[in-house]
A and B are shown apart, each in its own frame.
Chain A
C-alpha cells in the first residue's frame, strides 16, 4: 500500500499484568473506512488512544499521515479528530461554547472558530439548542455534539471509538450517513465497533482484533464468505443434542444444548437437516435462522467465544 494514512506495526502495551496490545499491526489506505472489530477488552480503544497521541506504546511503531505518534505528536494532533466512547464535553458550557473552546484549542484563527462552530451546529441539527448548557441535552444530542467536536479542525484522519454505542436507530443511521459523506470528501476513518453489521455497512476493510492482536484483516465480503452467510441454530431437549450432531455430521457445531450450522445455502441445508432429524424421530425445540454475529466471527476465527459471560450462559440453557 503506497498511500497509507495510518500505519501500525508491532504495537505492544501493558497495563500492569494485563496485556492490552500484543504486537498489533495494520495499515489504513487514505480515504477509506477501516473497522477494528472485536469484543470489549480486545484492545481496540488502546490502539485508538495510542494513535490519538493520548497514550504511549511500550513497543512498536505507529504513524498518521507519515508522522510518528510519539516523536511528532503535535503534528499528528493537528491532523486528527477523535470521538471516544462517551461524550467528552463540558456540561456547564453551551453547545456553541463547547465547539468554540475546542476550536480555539485546535489553534484555529479567531474568525474560523466562530464560523466552524456555527457550521457544525447546523450540520448536526443542534442550532436550536446551541445556546443552552449541554447539561440539558439528551444523550443523543450530547453524542452528536461530541462527534461535531471531533470535526472542528476539519481533520483528514478521524478516529471513532464505538461511535454508535447507546445511539437510537435514527441517530445511528444519520451518523453512518455522515461518515459516508466525510469519506467521500477524502477523510480517512478508523472506526472501532463490537457490531459486525456496523463494520460490514461502513468499512472498506475490517481487522478482527482479539487479545491485542489482529486475527483477520480483509474486506467485509471476504470475511463473511469465509464464514458462511447464515447461521442456523437448533435447540434440543436434554440429552438429544449429541444424537442430533451425530446425524447432521461434520458441519454441526455443538454448544451446550444448541447445535449451530453456518452455511451459505441456508434453505437447502435447513430442509435437509430437518428431514434427517425427522427421519430419526428428533424434533428441535427451538429454531433460529440469522445473520452471522460477532460471536460467530469470533468462534470461527479464534475458536473461543467473544464474551466470556455469553459462553457461561450459553452452556446452561
Chain B
C-alpha cells in the first residue's frame, strides 16, 4: 500500500471536537437513507397528510368542540404530535438494522466517540421531524389552519413537538437495541404507540371519553404535548401544560437515555 503508516503520536492525536464531528457524520449518514430510499420519507409524510384530510373533512364535522375554536385549529397541533410519534420508530428500525448488518460492530471497533452512534441516530430523527413538521404546517395552512397567537407561540409549539419527538427517539433507540431485528422492532412499536396517539387529546376533546379513560388520556405525554401546542397556537393558559409536557420529555430522556446507552455498550 502506498500510504505510509502513521507514527504513534499521529495515531493517538485527538481531533478537536471529535465527538461532535463523529455525531454529525452519522447524522448525515442516517439522513442519506431518506434521500436514497424515498419511500421512507413518503411513508412518514403521506400518512399524516391522510390523517389531516380524514379528520378535517370526514370526521371533523361530527366532532363537537365547546367554545369558539375551529376544529382545524384544534386538529393540527394533534397532527404534529402524531407525526413525530409514529416517525420515532425510525430509530428502532435504524439501529436494529445496523446491529443485524454488522455495521454496529464495525463502529465499536473504531476509535470514535462512544456516544456518537446514538446521538447520530436520534439527531437525524430530529432533523427529519423538523422537516416533516414544517411540511405539515404548510399542509395545515392549505386546509385552513391559522395561528391565533404570535410567532413566539408557533415556535414554542413546534419546539415542544420536536422535543417530544426527540425524547421518543430514545425510547425507540432502546427498543431497537433490545430487539435487534428491524421487522420485529417495527412490529413491537405499533401496539405501544396506537393507544398513546388515539387515547389522547390529539384528535378529539377529552371530555367525550369515559372517566377511566380520561384519567389516562389527560396525563399522558401525547395529550399534554398536543394540548400545550394547541394552547400556544390558539391562545389560552399554556404554562402549566408546557411544563408538564417538558417534565415528561425530561423523564423519558433520563430513563431511556440511560437504558439505551447501557444496551449500546453491551450489544455487539
B-contacting residues of A (Cβ < 8 Å)? 49, 52-55, 74-75, 77-80, 82, 84-93, 97, 101-102, 104-107, 109, 116, 119, 123, 133, 135, 149, 151, 153-154, 156, 181-182, 185-186
Contacts and interface: CB of A to CB of B under 8 A. Distances in A.
Contacts of A82: 106, 109
B109 to A, nearest CB: 4
Contacts of A104: 21-22, 25
A182 B26 CA distance: 30
Interface stretch (B29-37, B68-76, B238-246): B29-37
B36 A133 contact: yes
B236 interface: no
B11 A151 contact: no
Contact of B1 (A49, A106, A109, A185): A185
Given A92-B37, A101-B25, A105-B25, A77 B110 contact: yes
21 contacts: A52-B108, A52-B109, A54-B105, A78-B12, A79-B11, A82-B106, A82-B109, A88-B103, A88-B105, A88-B106, A90-B32, A91-B101, A93-B29, A93-B32, A97-B29, A101-B29, A104-B25, A105-B107, A105-B112, A107-B15, A109-B15
Interface residues of B, number: 34
Given A151-B1, A185-B1, A186-B5, A84 B105 contact: yes
Nearest to B21: A104
A55 B22 CA distance: 22
Contacts of A181: 1
Contacts, number: 96
A77 B22 CA distance: 15
A123 B21 contact: no
Interface of B: 1-6, 11-15, 18, 21-22, 25-26, 29, 32-33, 36-37, 101-103, 105-112, 116, 268
A75 B12 contact: yes
Contacts of A75: 12
A178 B161 CA distance: 53
Contacts of A105: 22, 25-26, 107, 110-112, 116
A79 B3 CA distance: 15
